Structure formats: structure tokens, C-alpha cells
Amino acid sequence: MNLLGKTVVLTGACGGIGACLAEELAKAGARLLLVGRDQRALERLRSILPGGPLPHMIYVANLCVEEDRAGLKLACSDAQVDILINNAGVGEFNLLEQSSSDAIASLLDLNLNVPIQLTRLLLPTLKSRPTAAIINIGSALGSIGYPAYSVYSASKFGLRGFSEALRRELTDSGVRVMHFAPRATRTPLNDSKVQAMNAALGTATDAPELVAQALLKRIRTNRWQASVFGWPERFYALLNAMNPAFTDGAIEKQLPEIKRFAADKSLPE
């Protein structure tokens, strides 16, 4: 898909991956509607985009609030939106017993309910365009269930299932659906505990710029199928689908370290 002149709604625009996506999309000539909760951060991002701020718009919204989502739909009604990127998300590195009921509910809301609801709201607009796309930012942990990420994994497995079903539901329309799943990426989503654990376990991490460039390449070359970004995570995702017992064994070896970091109160979150 050629991005020149396309209108893109990008949620989580000011986050680590979101800001890099905004930069790449602006460079490719797209017109952006940047969505986030912090007006000043959105304005700052808009002001530094390649090509200048003029073509782009901002929309301040807490996406967990239904009225804010309805307001976003209204803001999009005249904008002829071609692409929706559901990127806003939160992480939670915690053993299930340590997780609060509120944290579980709000993570599932933002990571799973919000992209489904936003997609439903913007689908009529997207269907009115000759070609359009919905891009859901998942995670490698949406294919590989990982200890201390049970709730996050549940949300991203759910998002992957939603994306796959919707992609098939919309095959006979002009709307393409992509599920793009980065592995660990160096953004504020990962607190110092997670960074320390990744370093101790030798887990590969990517720069958000690289993740954004990889997604842009997939959009440009029309690779709409679900994909986990990064090797060997893509291989493990396939292996886990075919033979989860093998992955159980590999992860069991890491479990004492994972639990040690999850329980560590000395590192700031």
C-alpha cells in the first residue's frame, strides 16, 4: 500500500513505538491523526514530524472512556480515514497472585476491548474508502504464553484471535487487517525490572525505530498476514503452536530467574 496522502489514525502516538511510527508514516507522506492522553506531548510530537506539523491532527482521548472513543469517531467522520493503527497498550510484569483486580481489568480493557471497540466504530468509514487497513499491534507474547505476563499474554492472544477472525470476515471488502507482533522493545512499557530480567536472560530487545521501520515495510509490500517480528521469536511462536511441551521445557529453565525479578522490590517499577 502506498502511504502517500493516506490518512492514518494512530493510537498511543506519543509512546516509544508510536512516536517512531508517527515519524516513519509522516516521512512516507501520510496524514496523521495522533491520539493520546497528553495534549502537550501530542502537540510536541506533531511539531517535530518530518515535513512539518500542518497536515497532521491531534486528538486527546483516554481510550478506556467510551465517550472519548465516540468523540474520536466523530473527529474521524470528515477525515476520510484510510488506516487505523491500534497501538496504545500497557504492560504488566507480575505474578498473577501479585496483580490487583483493577490492574487486570484495565489492562484487558486497553489492550483488547479498546482495539475491538475502536475498530467497530471506524469500520464504516474504512469500508467507504477504496482500500483501507486496520493494523493491530500485538506482541510475541500473544503467541508464546510467558510467566509473569499471564494477563498481558491473555490480552495479546485475544488481539491476535480478533485480528485473524476479522481479517477473514473482511476478505470480501477493501479493508485489510494486519496483526503485527514485536518482541521485547526498548520503550517505557518495560520498567527497570523487565530490563534487568531481559539482560539476565539474554532476551533480545529491539530499538523502537527498527520495529516501526519493519511495520512500514510490511504495509508498503502488502504483507497483511500475522507476523511476529524478530528471530528466533518467530520460530518459537511456530514451534509453540505445534508443540507447546517443548516451549514449556525451555521456559521452565528460566522460571526461577523470572520469579526472582518479579518478586524483587529493590528495583523501581
Ligand X SMILES: NC(=O)c1ccc[n+]([C@@H]2O[C@H](COP(=O)([O-])OP(=O)(O)OC[C@H]3O[C@@H](n4cnc5c(N)ncnc54)[C@H](OP(=O)(O)O)[C@@H]3O)[C@@H](O)[C@H]2O)c1
Q: Least distance in Å: CB of 17 to ligand X?
A: 3
* Strand-pair partners of 57: 33
Q: Of residues 25, 34, 84, 137, which one binds ligand X by CB under 6 A?
A: 137
Q: Looking at beta carbons only, is 130 or 188 nearer to ligand X?
A: 188
First to last CA, the chain: 40
In 128-243, alpha helices (H): 150-169, 192-201, 208-220, 233-242
Tracing cell 531481559 back to the chain, one arrives at: 198
* Contact status: 184 vs ligand X (CB under 6 A): yes
Composition of the chain by helix, strand, coil, percent to 5: 50, 15, 35
Q: Does 251 bind ligand X (CB under 6 A)?
A: no
CA–CA gap between residue 98 and residue 48 (Å, rounded): 40
Question: Shortest distance, CB of residue 130 to ligand X, whole angstroms?
Answer: 28
Distance from C-alpha of 214 to C-alpha of 180, rounded to nearest angstrom: 10
User: Of all residues in this chain, which one has the CB nearest to ligand X in the complex?
Assistant: 15
Binds ligand X by CB under 6 A, chosen from 17, 22, 83, 122: 17
- In the chain, the amino acid numbered 47 is S
As a whole number of Å, the CA-based R_g of the chain is 18
- Out of 187, 219, 224, 261, the only residue in the binding site for ligand X (CB under 6 A) is 187
Task: Figure out which of the listed residues 81, 189, 197, 237 binds ligand X, where binding follows CB under 6 A.
Answer: 189
The correct pick among 23, 36, 84, 107 for binding ligand X (CB under 6 A) is 36
Q: Under the rule (CB under 6 A), what is the footprint of ligand X?
A: 11-12, 14-18, 36-38, 41, 61-64, 87-90, 110, 137, 139, 182, 184-185, 187-190
